[in-house]
Amino acid sequence: MATSFNFLLLLLLLLLAGSTAAFPNFFLSPSFYSYTCPQLQGIVRSTMKEVIRNDTTNIGAGLLRLFFHDCFAGGCDASVLLDDTPEFVGEKTAPPNRNSLRGFEVIDLIKKRVEAACPRTVSCADILALTARDSVALLHGPRWKVWLGRSDSMAVDQNAATFSLPGPGSNLPILLAMFAAKGFSARDMVALSGAHTLGRSHCSLYRDRIHGDSNIDPAFSAALRATCPLSAANATATAPFDRTPERFDNWYFKDLVAFRGLMKSDQALYGGGLVDPLVEIYSEDNEAFGRDFAEAMVKLGNLSPLFGFYREIRLNCRKVNA
């Protein structure tokens, strides 16, 4: 009796381990495809090199964000890649993602090459995880070991995509709470936010801040107001999150300390709040940032559901298998 109780308890713990990032995921392993697809990491790496060499759009930023939005909304199961169908409305068109997420064609290209080498073997969720890692590494950021063995969901959860992701107006207590709910510490949250060292934001998402906030460098807001006026609904103007948007470095944190955070949720990390000391450390120590970011990205990849019937290795990342 006691033995079966202990077994059930262990099973429960393993289940929990799959749903929060704080625990290692016992079902993933860096060598998961060592025998079934040893070419995998080489294919992803060489394709990403090719893509980034020919890229003018900073697509690595888009691919890193794609992984975050997949994992944070119901686990790292590639649900974010599914196109809408007459039967269901997918996560791609949820408000935080619509007309904003990008990089889907790169995932299609990598998946095509991986399928040619190792048919029906590698999940789209694992391809996303490797692509995020290689994007960061190729843009001069840290590298980390990617744990593999995820499978792809056969269902989408637009509600999860709508409500689990933080927004550009989120304040510090909300950010801390949203990340804590998934097992992330304040340190993880701050380090992961440093992903905004890459890429840009649309005017509509930082307009309120540059026209209304007082915790902002006046020269910075004045320069941005020229291309993002309060009156015009200029949704196409964009601005970089930090001054080196194509290089993974700690300028994001240096800019926060100078009150040059682009969105309200960026500046929420600095200026009299609980996590100021972390922002200051990262602003002065690029290596510490890289180390903590890499560690938190592994945890992000642990947000992976373990059980359920609606799981498969998708052949085309945009749709469930027939």
**Nearest one of 303, 25, 297 to 137, comparing CA atoms:** 297
Residue of 69, 140, 196, 202 marked catalytic: 69
How far is C-alpha 41 from the chain's CA centre? Answer: 19
CA dihedral 219, 172, 182, 285 (to 10 degrees): 50
Is 69 designated active site?
A: yes
* In the complex, minimum distance from the CB of residue 92 to ligand HEM, in angstroms, rounded to a whole number: 13
* In the complex, minimum distance from the CB of residue 201 to ligand HEM, in angstroms, rounded to a whole number: 4
* Residue whose CB is nearest to ligand HEM in the complex, by number: 199
Residue placing its CB nearer to ligand HEM in the complex, 196 or 209: 196
* In the complex, minimum distance from the CB of residue 207 to ligand HEM, in angstroms, rounded to a whole number: 11
Residue placing its CB nearer to ligand HEM in the complex, 163 or 307: 163
Which residues in this chain contact ligand HEM in the complex, by CB under 6 A?
58, 61-62, 64-65, 68, 100, 102, 166-168, 170, 175, 192-193, 195-196, 198-202, 205, 263, 265
CA pair distance 40, 58, nearest whole angstrom = 24
Residue placing its CB nearer to ligand HEM in the complex, 65 or 314: 65
CA pair distance 167, 234, nearest whole angstrom = 19
Per-residue burial over 95-128, b if 16 or more Cβ lie within 10 Å, else e, is ebbeeebbbbebbbebbebbbeebeeebbbbbbb
* In the complex, minimum distance from the CB of residue 235 to ligand HEM, in angstroms, rounded to a whole number: 10
Q: DSSP of 267-288, one letter per residue?
A: HTTSSSSTTHHHHHHHHH-HHH
CB distance 305 to 18 below 8 Å: yes
Residue placing its CB nearer to ligand HEM in the complex, 111 or 209: 209
Annotated active-site positions, please? 69
